[in-house]
Amino acid sequence: MESRMAKMKYTSFAVASCHRRGWFDFFDFFDFMVFMVFIVAQDFFLFLLWYLKLLPTSIINFITSTITIFMITLITLIIPVILIAPAVSVC
């Protein structure tokens, strides 16, 4: 009887922690998607300025190369987290 109570206690703790982790995962994903939409919108805005000849090509080249380096760094950091995090999860 005592082991059954301990098992139920452990199970309820695991479910509670999974539930909590699930919400955090959802909000992290939501923040990431908002961030990606912001980056795409920013790139589109810069392209539009360049297309309308309101932004010199040299500035566009600098910004584009900076954004490219930033996105490569971001992808190298984010992809392993996305692949490894579910594997380490207890749920």
pLDDT at residue 16, rounded to an integer = 46
pLDDT at residue 8, rounded to an integer = 46
Q: How far is Cα 69 from Cα 71, in angstroms, rounded to an integer? A: 6
Amino acid identity of 69?
I
Among 32, 28, 64, CA closest to 46: 64
Structural domain of 10: 2-88
77 neighbors 69 (Cβ within 8 angstroms): no
Number of folded domains in the chain? 1
pLDDT at residue 29, rounded to an integer = 67
pLDDT in tens, the chain (91 residues): 455 554 444 444 444 444 455 545 555 666 667 777 777 777 777 777 777 777 677 777 777 777 777 777 777 667 666 666 555 555 4
Tell me if residue 21 falls in helix, strand or coil.
helix
pTM of the predicted protein model: 0.35
The label of the residue with tokens 């992809």 reads: 79
